A and B are shown apart, each in its own frame.
Chain A
Amino acid sequence: MPVAASAIYFLNLRGDVLINRLYRDDVGGNMVDAFRTHIMQTKELGTCPVRQIGGCSFFYMRISNVYIVIVVSSNANVACAFKFVVEAVALFKSYFGGAFDEDAIRNNFVLIYELLDEIMDFGYPQNLSPEILKLYITQEGVRSPFSSKPTDKPVPNATLQVTGAVGWRREGLVYKKNEVFLDIVESVNLLMSSKGSVLRCDVTGKILMKCFLSGMPDLKLGLNDKIGLEKESQLKSRPTKSGKTIELDDVTFHQCVNLTRFNSEKTVSFVPPDGEFELMNSRKYYTVLYFLGGCISFNFLVPDCLSERFRYRITEGVNLPFRVLPTIKELGRTRMEVNVKVKSVFGAKMFALGVVIKIPVPKQTAKTSFQVTSGRAKYNPAIDCLVWKIRKFPGQTEPTMSAEIELISTMAEKKSWTRPPIQMEFQVPMFTASGLRVRFLKVWEKSGYNTVEWVRYITKAGSYEIRC
């Protein structure tokens, strides 16, 4: 059964109910007490996100200082339930302007009730897309699209939008300046052994797009990925240009993409419906033709917010932006010496921002002294780490940090210190760890206007861990 929830509760960290909604009758209203006494008040919290108590099962997630708990009594679809929570939180955030916490819930409880009523019916998730819900569930609430008040702006096909029966294109949009913004955001996950060999490494990337285009543009996007390039070379019967090609392990698309045709023909196109569509004031919908490496194309809904259209994952041939070379020596029982060298292996003209390196030290650290060639380092006892921050980190450099640590000698400490891994945070603009490049982004429109295309790349650290 694809039922995702019988009831949903939002609790604060003390366990008070901030808001709740019962969708089905098969769980009692007091089930949340069971959650409080059996999960929140015990050590069980955090051991497993799916728990059974009595005849009910609880799925819970913590988001900032709020627990979101879903209660069911049937064999519900857990994947659906968790995804629903994730999407619902994203929806609330987009309504509240970014924040989702206890205060935001209290301040918007009427709106949340309204949304909860709309996004789930009898435990079945309905439409959770913010772009569409904002058509008819508005902040002010009074602006009903069908209200007879003349001041209201009518959104006559809101219900059609919700049910997905209407295409996403309208005619007659005009922009003075036609622009497309394309962001390629990658995060590198790395797990490196103490000997410097890579245990696991992958890059997950997403392509975000924002369009301000007039009329009915077709977009084609060419990437340097392998399948795309091979297809292209077959089509044009010429060998692939030398240069790096990228193998994408997995690609997932946003809801709007017609997956069946993408799979079968590698050409996904969509014929926009030709019915009459009312002009919608605050929304902008375009047809976009996406063209992957030559022969994958599809078109999709582009709202005027930066939205994610495309996700991919790469495990082969990852360019690691940083190498970390730690040496940690325990000198006797009360002293330690830590030397860390960080090498930036991207181009010399580029630089990384917000580099933070966290080097774990034992709990009984008493005194630390540092020498760094760049940035600033300090000891943070709250997380038992030496934190070395470098605001701007140019490419092809290798700053070092050496620290001396004095430990309080303890009698009881028989167990040797288990060294947690070094963790790193960074952002490298204009660099992709996957090597993915946009080869072209072309926009065609029958009026033949010129478009300005902006492409940005950024690579961030996902979980970048080096064992030591």
Chain B
Amino acid sequence: MSGHDSKYFSTTKKGEIPELKEELNSQYKDKRKDAVKKVIAAMTVGKDVSSLFTDVVNCMQTENLELKKLVYLYLINYAKSQPDLAILAVNTFVKDSQDPNPLIRALAVRTMGCIRVDKITEYLCDPLQRCLKDDDPYVRKTAAICVAKLYDINAELVEDRGFLESLKDLISDNNPMVVANAVAALAEIQENSSGPIFEISSHTLSKLLTALNECTEWGQVFILDALSRYKAADAREAENIVERVTPRLQHANCAVVLSAVKMILQQMELITSTDVVRNLCKKMAPPLVTLLSAEPEIQYVALRNINLIVQRRPTILAHEIKVFFCKYNDPIYVKMEKLEIMIKLASDRNIDQVLLEFKEYATEVDVDFVRKAVRAIGRCAIKLERAAERCISVLLELIKIKVNYVVQEAIIVIKDIFRRYPNTYESIIATLCESLDTLDEPEAKASMIWIIGEYAERIDNADELLESFLESFPEEPAQVQLQLLTATVKLFLKKPTEGPQQMIQTRDQLPIFICTCTVFKHSSQSVVTNTNSCLQVVLNNATVETDNPDLRDRAYIYWRLLSTDPEAAKDVVLAEKPVITDDSNQLDSSLLDELLANIATLSSVYHKPPEAFVTRVKTTAPKTEDDDYPNGIDTGYSDTPTHVADGGTSPQTSSSSAPYPAGRQPAPPPAAPAPAAPVPDLLGDLIGLDNSAIVPVDRPEPAPAAPLPVVLPASTGQGLQISAQLTRQDGQVLYSMLFENNTQIPLDGFMIQFNKNSFGLAAAGPLQVPQLQPGTSARTLLPMVLFQNVSGGAPSSLLQVAVKNNQQPVWYFNDKVSLHVFFTEDGRMERGSFLETWRSLPDSNEVLKDLPGIVVSNVEATLDRLAASNMFFIAKRKHANQDVFYFSAKIPRGIPFLIELTTVIGNPGVKCAIKTPNPEMAPLFFEAIESLLKA
């Protein structure tokens, strides 16, 4: 039954476009249809056939549904580039939306919604209104989705025309698919809006749960996803909901199952009865296991989600560990995830079986998988005390295979095992030492050296072993150098008398060394007299011949410690280390909550909150604290932070590049008070801070007049109105403010305070506002400084300000920082360096955003305006009918932004791509550029 469309792809002679044009205007229907097919084929392979717009649109008025669909498809693709001509199609659309055939009515509305051209959108409203009330459910279900499309283009229009109400009415529609699509549309609109649009009441809930039964599988997903936001009032309601959702677990569609699991887990939090919870756990296990017989890609999604689920409810799959055993032919991404879950499910009961599996995996072909299997054995040893010995014996067996990467990986995990169970398994050190020469990876080397240093007193030839590493000290990576330094110091402290005599000749270097380093002259002399030369070599190398500040500083600290008080050095360097713990459930509980609420979505696959990877800026203020979450699930163990001096001796386990393993790092100091509750914190700051920033107002200063946005309306400020905006003048960031006194009394003693913010903005001097008589106003320009009180977390444009005066309470208001005020005057880049920087930045640092509503009509004026804001024009090129502009800008601390704007002059829609070393700034940047371009 297969078709023969491929003939349309065959290219004809040179004059393809004119030829098509002729055929499109043919009087024969069949020829016209073939021509449209050829046009679509050309479009598919990426040829620009937009010049045929008029001719294709002429074919639109046809009885033939297939032809109509093709023309519509063409319109979706090209209407944007030909907005003026797109208007030609409007009539037909409107006519089609009243066609007796419901398929055509729906098609017209569906297609109009996909064409994001203002002129078309205007005409969409009336047909949409009609279609939402159409007799045919097929038309209604299409119209429901169309409302979401329209909201995406023009939210105001949707609200003004009352489409939201019509959409809400559709929730009570008698057709389940209409209900499902309406729910999907409402949920999406809610997601992109700050106001309450789609609130699920218990009445809606029960209506939707009923609709669930009749919906298509996809409709069930829409409804379950929307309902998972519902918070049940009490345990009883939660139980009721769960009871009505559990049957979905039996569905053949994996998306339905996962959405049902999500909803059940949400409600389970409220259920208090342990019996009910146990029963639910029992019910959820089989469907989750069944997901593992789906396609590997689906298995992967399921496994990533199961990983989260077992962290919250380990009992669900406690007895199902066998299903996570890897099949030989599983794709590597499935195997890796299975391994992760096996570690989480490993218990004293099943550890023997699990170890046998891990051992099997450790002999497979894929190196990454083998490493992970070896690491898994170590993690089990740390997790299960009683199994530790068995784990170690498996590791020793693996070391005997002498496969290089297995040995190295084993040594890394054994070091962790030593940390976990100090003074228990040292007997195996001898075996480890046999493999010393094969080590070539920094992490393995560092681990081995740590072991030698830590147990120097039990290794007879510890000094010789360390010495063998010392020869290559300067070439070693920093990680190994740090460990060597610490291990040598440990060795010295533990066995001060011993030292390889053959190293003595290195003393020759010392006089030079002492001269170069006068600060430590005294100390080095004491070292000379007391220590063996092994230590001298290391200290020498680490202080003089390295550019690594970490290494140098640590060496100096040891040196000074050793020379002033060797006993203190002993206390510090050989201090007892905190025991590391198993971290297989390492996700922070609040993050886990958020991820579980996002089961089946991308967020649950990445194990990151949605804000961390979705760049779309919502209308609400972005949260600030999200980026602090650890994001790696693959990090190994986490150390609790150790003493400063011993910092390097604590084994850095998995992610060697990170300063701390990302796993269970204590939350960063709570620098940024959540914007939700700024009042008490800010007040505290206001009163508690030294008064360098709070100063009485004395000198008034006239300011240039320009309308400023109102930040504190008179209604809120009991008659005091404040308008303010950040500006930039002569390389200085200023806070331009206007105070208007609408009260009955004079106001004086104005002071201002800024809360910690992403840019550390703070007042550089006192606020200068004179006494304000009733009915008068005053303007001031407050100079600002940067990087004073920088808050952590993702950059946010939120600026919280407190203003007080002698007569009124403290006023708090929020302002928005527009990034462009920080663009510095020296942001201009040469073409060459621009290109180089662009190339040198990885693509992950590139962020794209469409600015749909923006029209660039006058290039010169736009460039001038951007240049005035320190966004420097670099180059321009033409691409098809689009113009591409390149700019550069720089913000303090030398962070460059490389900008690429793509637009069709005179048409709405600007595509903005930026590259910067700090991509997390991107949302702020886009806000700034949008406002700059709009101006």
A:240-290 near B, CB below 8 Å: 249-255, 258-260, 262-264
Q: Is the pair A48, B5 in contact by a Cβ cutoff of 8 Å?
A: no
Is A104 at the interface (CB under 8 A from chain B)?
yes
The docked-state distance in angstroms from the alpha carbon of A154 to that of B700 is 83
Q: How many chain-A residues does the 8 Å CB contact rule pick out?
A: 116
Q: Is the pair A164, B6 in contact by a Cβ cutoff of 8 Å?
A: no
Q: Is the pair A55, B217 in contact by a Cβ cutoff of 8 Å?
A: no
Q: Is the pair A193, B356 in contact by a Cβ cutoff of 8 Å?
A: yes
Q: Is the pair B69, A54 in contact by a Cβ cutoff of 8 Å?
A: no
Partner of A82, one of B66, B297, B911: B297
Q: Which residues of A contact B63 (CB under 8 A)?
A: 147-148
Map CB proximity to A onto B321-344 as digits: 1 under 8 Å, 0 otherwise: 011010111011100000000000
Is A122 at the interface (CB under 8 A from chain B)?
yes
Interchain nearest-CB distance for A402 vs B (Å): 24
Q: Is the pair A19, B286 in contact by a Cβ cutoff of 8 Å?
A: no
The docked-state distance in angstroms from the alpha carbon of A106 to that of B77 is 19
**CB nearest to B100 among chain A residues:** A146
Is B4 at the interface (CB under 8 A from chain A)?
yes
Q: Which residues of A contact B255 (CB under 8 A)?
A: 77, 79-80, 83
Map CB proximity to B onto A15-40 as digits: 1 under 8 Å, 0 otherwise: 01111101111101000001001100
Q: Which residues of B contact A59 (CB under 8 A)?
A: 297
Is A76 at the interface (CB under 8 A from chain B)?
yes
Is A293 at the interface (CB under 8 A from chain B)?
no
The docked-state distance in angstroms from the alpha carbon of A150 to that of B661 is 74
Q: Which residues of B contact A254 (CB under 8 A)?
A: 252
Interchain nearest-CB distance for B529 vs A (Å): 49
Q: Is the pair B5, A160 in contact by a Cβ cutoff of 8 Å?
A: no
Q: Which residues of A contact B484 (CB under 8 A)?
A: none
**A106-B5, A415-B403 are contacts. A127–B73 as well, Cβ < 8 Å?**
no
B:672-726 near A, CB below 8 Å: none
Map CB proximity to A onto B246-259 as digits: 1 under 8 Å, 0 otherwise: 11101111110011
Is B625 at the interface (CB under 8 A from chain A)?
no
Q: Which residues of B contact A189 (CB under 8 A)?
A: 293, 327
Is B110 at the interface (CB under 8 A from chain A)?
yes
Is A173 at the interface (CB under 8 A from chain B)?
no
Q: Is the pair A79, B214 in contact by a Cβ cutoff of 8 Å?
A: no
Partner of A114, one of B66, B187, B253, B598: B66
**CB nearest to B72 among chain A residues:** A117
A:210-261 near B, CB below 8 Å: 249-255, 258-260
**CB nearest to B324 among chain A residues:** A200
Q: Which residues of B contact A347 (CB under 8 A)?
A: none
**A78-B602, A141-B66 are contacts. A25–B152 as well, Cβ < 8 Å?**
yes
Q: Is the pair B333, A163 in contact by a Cβ cutoff of 8 Å?
A: no
Q: Is the pair A262, B247 in contact by a Cβ cutoff of 8 Å?
A: yes
Q: Is the pair A96, B116 in contact by a Cβ cutoff of 8 Å?
A: no
Q: Which residues of B contact A365 (CB under 8 A)?
A: none
Q: Is the pair B601, A139 in contact by a Cβ cutoff of 8 Å?
A: no
Map CB proximity to A onto B296-318 as digits: 1 under 8 Å, 0 otherwise: 11101110010000000000000
Q: Is the pair B138, A259 in contact by a Cβ cutoff of 8 Å?
A: no
Map CB proximity to A onto B173-200 as digits: 1 under 8 Å, 0 otherwise: 0111110010010011001000000000
Q: Chain B's interface: helix, strand, loop or mixed, by majority?
A: helix
The docked-state distance in angstroms from the alpha carbon of A160 to that of B176 is 11
A:288-318 near B, CB below 8 Å: 311, 313
**CB nearest to B286 among chain A residues:** A250
The docked-state distance in angstroms from the alpha carbon of A96 to that of B6 is 14
Q: Which residues of A contact B814 (CB under 8 A)?
A: none
**CB nearest to A57 among chain B residues:** B602
Q: Is the pair B145, A121 in contact by a Cβ cutoff of 8 Å?
A: yes
Q: Is the pair A111, B289 in contact by a Cβ cutoff of 8 Å?
A: no
Is A344 at the interface (CB under 8 A from chain B)?
no
Q: Is the pair A263, B136 in contact by a Cβ cutoff of 8 Å?
A: no
Q: Is the pair A113, B363 in contact by a Cβ cutoff of 8 Å?
A: no
The docked-state distance in angstroms from the alpha carbon of A148 to that of B104 is 13
Is A411 at the interface (CB under 8 A from chain B)?
no
Q: Is the pair B251, A191 in contact by a Cβ cutoff of 8 Å?
A: no
A:153-171 near B, CB below 8 Å: 158-160, 162-165
Q: Which residues of A contact B114 (CB under 8 A)?
A: 23, 122
Q: Is the pair A313, B293 in contact by a Cβ cutoff of 8 Å?
A: yes
Q: Is the pair B848, A110 in contact by a Cβ cutoff of 8 Å?
A: no
**A46-B332, A99-B2, A463-B329 are contacts. A311–B252 as well, Cβ < 8 Å?**
yes
**CB nearest to B353 among chain A residues:** A199
Which A residues fall within an 8 A CB radius of B?
A: 1-3, 16-20, 22-26, 28, 34, 37-38, 46-50, 52-57, 59-61, 72-80, 82-84, 86, 95-97, 99, 103-104, 106-111, 113-114, 117, 121-122, 124-129, 136, 139, 141-142, 144-148, 158-160, 162-165, 189, 191, 193, 199-200, 202, 204, 249-255, 258-260, 262-264, 311, 313, 414-416, 418-421, 423, 463, 465, 467
Which B residues fall within an 8 A CB radius of A?
A: 1-6, 8-9, 37, 40-41, 44-46, 63-66, 69-70, 72-73, 76-77, 100-104, 106, 110, 113-114, 116, 136-139, 141-142, 145-146, 148-149, 152, 174-178, 181, 184, 187-188, 191, 212-218, 221-222, 225-226, 244, 246-248, 250-255, 258-259, 286-287, 289-290, 293, 295-298, 300-302, 305, 322-323, 325, 327-329, 331-333, 353, 356-357, 360, 363-365, 401-403, 598, 600-606, 610, 613-616, 843-844, 846-850, 852, 911
Q: Which 8 A-B pairs have the closest CB atoms?
A: A141-B66, A159-B138, A146-B101, A250-B286, A259-B247, A75-B610, A80-B255, A163-B177
Using A17-B45, A163-B177 as known contacts, list a sample of 11 further A-B pairs with CB atoms less than 8 Å apart, ordered by residue number in A: A24-B152, A55-B847, A77-B225, A77-B259, A79-B305, A95-B1, A117-B110, A162-B177, A199-B322, A249-B286, A263-B250
CB-defined A-B contacts under 8 Å, sample of 22: A47-B332, A73-B614, A77-B600, A79-B302, A82-B298, A83-B298, A107-B2, A110-B3, A124-B145, A124-B222, A129-B216, A146-B100, A147-B63, A147-B65, A147-B101, A159-B103, A165-B176, A165-B177, A189-B293, A199-B357, A202-B323, A423-B329
